[in-house]
Amino acid sequence: KKRVVIKIGSSTLTHSNGLPNYDMMEKLIRQIADLKNAGYEIIIVTSGAIGAGMAKLKLKQRPKTIPEKQACAAVGQGLLMHIYEKIFSEYGIIVGQILLTREDINNRIRFLNARNSIFSLLKNGIVPIINENDAVAVDEIKIGDNDTLSALVSILVEGDLLIILSDIEGLYNKNPLIYPDAELISTVESIDESIINIAGGAGSKLGTGGMATKIEAAKIALSSGISMIIAKGSNDRVLYRILKGENIGTIFLSS
């Protein structure tokens, strides 16, 4: 069975004003439901809790202080899961929420506990939906961004492939928001200095990582022999096409 970790970024899950993008979520969940029927094991790493909380609490800006972020995440995480649960249930699929902090990765016992928990969901045909536990996380114990989290999760579950869905086609040779002539890089075989320099700073207003954390994630995944693909979540049938081997987005190939 092929085990695929799919990270869905805030910029894919929410509109630029922070409200949930139901159409996008429906399209992706429909594909995931189908892939599951086709025999894939799917693990979702989701962002968007703070975005969903912002919308509910009618905040115009991303909260800045830790307590505000925590409150926002506590409100938003439940809302986010509600949407996943609702859409997946239309396809008869049960989801299970797992919230992790860095301790769950760094501490061997907790690592094994988290792994057992995810494996137990998979064994029961449940789709694990994973996020960082932002309601209790403070900087010192944070993984910090879901790109890194998704790479760590793909190691945790011994995944075959990590797919990072974003609001951009893939990695460009320079930031396409600033340089209109930027070109998409379709394959990266090793992550050297030049690739790291390309990534630049943080990305969209709602996303937190930008390309830098995606490159970091690729490093982590590749170091464990897991290939990673960055692709645009809104592309038609994006997940089917990736898993059929179509060359879209940027693939970081593990040797």
Q: Which stretch binds ligand ADP (CB under 6 A): 32-40, 87-95, 106-114, 172-180?
A: 172-180
Give yes or no for residue 88 binding ligand ADP (CB under 6 A).
Answer: no
Q: Provide the edge-to-edge strand list for the sheet that holds 227-232.
A: 95-100, 127-132, 41-46, 3-8, 161-166, 227-232, 250-252, 187-188
Amino acid at 151: A
Residue 172 DSSP one-character state: B
Location of structure tokens 């949930």: 20
Q: Which stretch binds ligand ADP (CB under 6 A): 7-15, 59-67, 102-110, 121-129?
A: 7-15
Query: What residues numbered 138-167 form the site for ligand ADP, per CB under 6 A?
Result: 166-167
Distance CA 84, CA 44 (A): 10
The single residue among 163, 210, 242, 251 that binds ligand ADP, judged by CB under 6 A, is 210
Which residue minimizes CB distance to ligand ADP? Answer: 9
Q: What counts of helices (H) and strands (E) characterise the chain?
A: 10, 8
Q: How far is the CB of 108 from ligand ADP (least distance, A)?
A: 29
Q: What would the DSSP string read from start to end of 71-134?
A: HHHHHHHHHHHHHHHHHHHHTT--EEEEEE-HHHHHSHHHHHHHHHHHHHHHHTT-EEEEEE-T
Please, which residue, 103 or 167, has the CB nearer to ligand ADP?
167
Please give the size of the binding site for ligand ADP, defined by CB under 6 A: 23
Give yes or no for residue 131 binding ligand ADP (CB under 6 A).
Answer: no
Give yes or no for residue 46 binding ligand ADP (CB under 6 A).
Answer: no
Q: Which stretch binds ligand ADP (CB under 6 A): 16-24, 50-58, 102-110, 193-201?
A: 193-201
Largest CA distance in the chain: 49
The single residue among 26, 63, 79, 175 that binds ligand ADP, judged by CB under 6 A, is 175
Give yes or no for residue 10 binding ligand ADP (CB under 6 A).
Answer: yes
Give yes or no for residue 207 binding ligand ADP (CB under 6 A).
Answer: yes
Give yes or no for residue 20 binding ligand ADP (CB under 6 A).
Answer: no
User: Is the distance from CB of 114 to CB of 104 less than 8 angstroms?
Assistant: yes
Distance CA 233, CA 244 (A): 16
Give yes or no for residue 11 binding ligand ADP (CB under 6 A).
Answer: yes
State the residues that interact with ligand ADP by CB under 6 A. 9-12, 166-168, 171-172, 174-177, 198-200, 203-204, 207-211
